[in-house]
Amino acid sequence: MAYLSDLALSIQPYIPGEQPKDMQYIKLNTNENPYPPSPKVAQVLNDMDPAAFRLYPPPECEELRESIGKFYDVDKGCVYVANGSDELLSWCFPAFFTGKEPILINDITYSFYKVYAALFSVKTEVVPLNDDFSIPMEYYIGRNRGIIIANPNAPTGQAISLNEIEEIVRSNPDQVVIIDEAYVDFGCESAVPLTKRYENLLVVQTFSKSRSLAGLRCGFAIGSPLLIDGLSRIKNSLNSYTMDIVTLKLAKAAVEDADYFYETTAKVISTRNRVSEKLREAGFEFADSTANFLFVTHPKITASVLFEKLRAQGILVRYFNLPRIDDYLRITIGRDEQMDVLIQKLKDLLMNGRKYGTNSKS
C-alpha cells in the first residue's frame, strides 16, 4: 500500500455486474442483448485479412464515424468514437468540467459518473430523484451547471421527454449537458437531433446494448464540432490509437445493417411489454420502462432474498445494496423462453416464501 497514491487509496472504483464462471446461468444481470449481432458482423469478421493487424488502426476512425453520421443524419465531424461509452464519458470530465462549480448528477443513476468525478476532482451536486424515481426537472432548469443525465435512467428505466431535455439544454447555455443514451433504442426518443441546434449538448451512445456488441467495446458521442474537438484533445493526450481494427470494421457493419437493428430492438420491446404484464399480475411493482430491463420490487418478499434464491436456481439478476433501492431488482430482458423460466421461478418463490423462510415483508 505504501506505493499507492492518495487518489488510488481513496477512490471507490465502479463494480461491474457479475460474470460467473462456476456454472451456466440464465444471465439477466448486465443488460446484454439476448440476440446475436447483425449477420453482417460475422461476415466481415470472416473476411478479414490477418495481414491488416501488422499496421496501426486509423487514428481518426473516419469510416466508422461516417457510417454513424449517415445513420443519425449528422456530419462525421460531429461524431466521435471510443472503446465503449464508458471511455467517452471518462474523457468528458477533464474535457468539459473545470471543477470550479459542481456538476449535477442524480442520486440514483449510473454509478460510474461519481467515480469519474472523484478521479478527475470534479465536484458534484447530487440531485435526489422523486419518490417515484422520476427526474425532478426543477433542479435542472436555469442552474447554468454541467449536467449528466442517463436517459433512460439506469437502473430505473424511466425517461424524460425530448422537450424536457431541450428545456434543460436551453436553460444552461454556458455549460455542457451530457445525455447518456445507452438504452435509448428500446423505447425512448434520442436527443441527437437537438445537437444540430445546441452547441452545448453532447449525446453518448453505445454498441453494447441495441447492437449486441457488448464484447466488442464500442461507443460514440454526437455533438457540436467544438465538443468533439474537446474529446479529441483529451483522447490524443492519453492514447492516439484507442480503437482497434477489428472493432472499427465490425461496428461499421453493425451500424449499416439498419433492418436487423430495428428487428431485434422490436423483439426486446415486445418481450419487455409481455413480461411487465406477467410480473404485475404476480404482484410486482415498478414504473414503465423504456430500457431493456425492468426495475422491480415486491411488497411481500425482499429483493435480497429473491436475488439469492434466483441465483441458487441458475438465474442471475442485478441487486444493488444501496440507499433507496435496496429492495429492488434490475432484470434484463432476455429471450422469451428465458423470461418464461424467470416468471415461473418467481411465482414459485412467492408461493413458497414463508415455507423457505424468505423474510417475508408482510
Give the model confidence (pLDDT) of 278-293 as tens digits: 999 999 999 999 999 9
Mean pLDDT value across residues 239-254: 94
How far is it, in rounded angstroms, from Cα 133 to Cα 153? 9
Does residue 362 register a pLDDT over 70? no
- Sign of the torsion angle spanned by Cα atoms 77, 82, 87, 91: negative
- Residue ranges of domains in the chain, CATH in brackets: 6-35+259-351 (3.90.1150.10), 39-44+57-257 (3.40.640.10)
Instruction: Show the DSSP H helices in the chain as ranges.
Output: 6-10, 39-47, 62-72, 84-96, 112-119, 162-170, 225-235, 245-256, 258-281, 303-312, 336-351, 353-356
Amino acid identity of residue 349, one-letter, is L
Smallest Cα–Cα separation from 252: which of 109, 22, 41, 82? 41
18-22, 92-96, 145-149, 348-352: range with lowest mean pLDDT = 18-22
- Sign of the torsion angle spanned by Cα atoms 120, 121, 123, 129: positive
- Give the single-character DSSP code of 360: B
pLDDT the model gives residue 357? 45
Mean pLDDT value across residues 163-174: 97
37-46, 140-149, 198-207, 236-245: range with lowest mean pLDDT = 236-245
pLDDT the model gives residue 353? 66
**pLDDT tens-place string over residues 83-102:** 999 999 999 999 999 878 99
pLDDT the model gives residue 309? 95
**pLDDT tens-place string over residues 144-157:** 999 999 999 999 99
Mean pLDDT value across residues 323-327: 96
pLDDT the model gives residue 23? 66
Question: How far does CA 68 lie from the centroid of its chain?
Answer: 18
What cell numbers appear for 281 in the block? 399480475
Q: Which residues, listed in sequence order, are joined to residue 297 by a DSSP beta bridge? A: 285
**pLDDT tens-place string over residues 170-198:** 999 999 999 999 999 999 999 999 999 99
SS (H, E, C) 2-28: CCCCHHHHHCCCCCCCCCCCCCCCEEC
Per the prediction, the chain carries an average pLDDT of 94
Does residue 42 register a pLDDT over 50? yes
pLDDT the model gives residue 359? 53
